Amino acid sequence: DAGVTQSPTHLIKTRGQQVTLRCSPISGHKSVSWYQQVLGQGPQFIFQYYEKEERGRGNFPDRFSARQFPNYSSELNVNALLLGDSALYLCASSLEGRANYGYTFGSGTRLTVV
């Protein structure tokens, strides 16, 4: 029974580059959310998608974008990388994108920008 899968697990990028992170939700889950966790802080909300439509956006610059595909998987794109984008990027899936249905997190993608 597969949980939330994220790829890649680790990557290193140079300032100014672009990166794409991927997430596959739990089978049957229609909502995917993205969070950024910087060392020493709690995860911060970036985006939420439900049924391929953006349902919410956190306080992140336009360099961050995302989309959800017909199979409910999702990609997070970050352009013009800055050193401060170095973080653990977490994907969470849920049945309908509401807390009462629960959110299940993947193990994350560790992005290092040098």
Chain residues binding other proteins by CB under 8 A are 4, 33, 35, 40-45, 48, 55-56, 58, 90, 92, 97-100, 102-108, 110
Q: Which is nearer to other proteins, 14 or 100 (CB)?
A: 100
DSSP state letters, 37-48:
E-TTS--EEEEE
User: Least CB distance from residue 9 to other proteins, whole Å?
Assistant: 9
| Residue 57 structure tokens | 């956006």
User: Least CB distance from residue 27 to other proteins, whole Å?
Assistant: 17
| Residue 35 structure tokens | 């969070």
**Alpha-carbon gap, residue 66 to 5, rounded angstroms:** 16
